[in-house]
Amino acid sequence: MIERLISSCFQLTLSEPDLPMNSPADASSPRALRALSPIEARIVGVLVEKQHTVPDTYPLSLNALTLGCNQKTARSPVMNVSEADVLAAIEDLKLLSLVFEGSSSRVPRFEHNLNRVLGVPSQAVALLTVLLLRGAQTAAELRLNSSRLHGFADVSSVEGFLDELAGREPPLVVKLPRAPGERESRWMHLLCGEVSAASLAGAGATTPGEREDAGETVSLADFEAVRAEQQRLADEVGRLQTLVERMAAELGISLDVLSRPS
Same domain, 111 and 136: no
Q: Given this model, what pLDDT does residue 103 score?
A: 72
Same domain? 71 vs 142: no
Is residue 179 situated within a structural domain? yes
Whether 147 is in a domain gets the answer yes
Phi, psi for 53 (deg, rounded to 5): -85, -30
Q: Is residue 3 part of a domain?
A: no
State which H helix or E strand residue 112 sits in: strand 109-112
Average pLDDT over residues 197-226: 50
The answer to whether residues 114 and 141 belong to one domain is: no
- pLDDT for res 12: 40
Q: What is the DSSP letter of 51?
A: H
In a domain, 29, yes or no: no
Per the domain annotation, does 142 fall within a domain?
Answer: yes
CATH code of 244's domain: 1.10.10.10
Tell me, yes or no, whether 138 and 148 share the same domain.
yes
**pTM of the predicted model, to two decimals?**
0.69
In a domain, 184, yes or no: yes
In a domain, 109, yes or no: yes
Cα–Cα dist 128/83, whole Å: 24
Asked if the model's pLDDT at residue 254 lies above 70, the reply is yes
pLDDT tens for residues 215-249?
A: 444 445 556 556 666 777 887 788 888 888 888 88
Segments forming the whole domain that contains residue 128: 121-195
Are 113 and 126 contained in the same domain? Answer: no
Q: Which helix (H) or strand (E) holds 90?
A: helix 83-95
**CB contact set of 132 (below 8 Å; sequence gap of 6+):** 41, 42, 44, 45, 48, 189, 191
Q: Tell whether 59 is covered by a domain.
A: yes
Same domain, residue pair 188 and 63: no
Q: Number of folded domains in the chain?
A: 2
pLDDT tens for each residue of 24-53: 333 445 567 999 999 999 999 999 999 999
Same domain, yes or no: 111 and 157: no
58 and 182 fall within a common domain: no
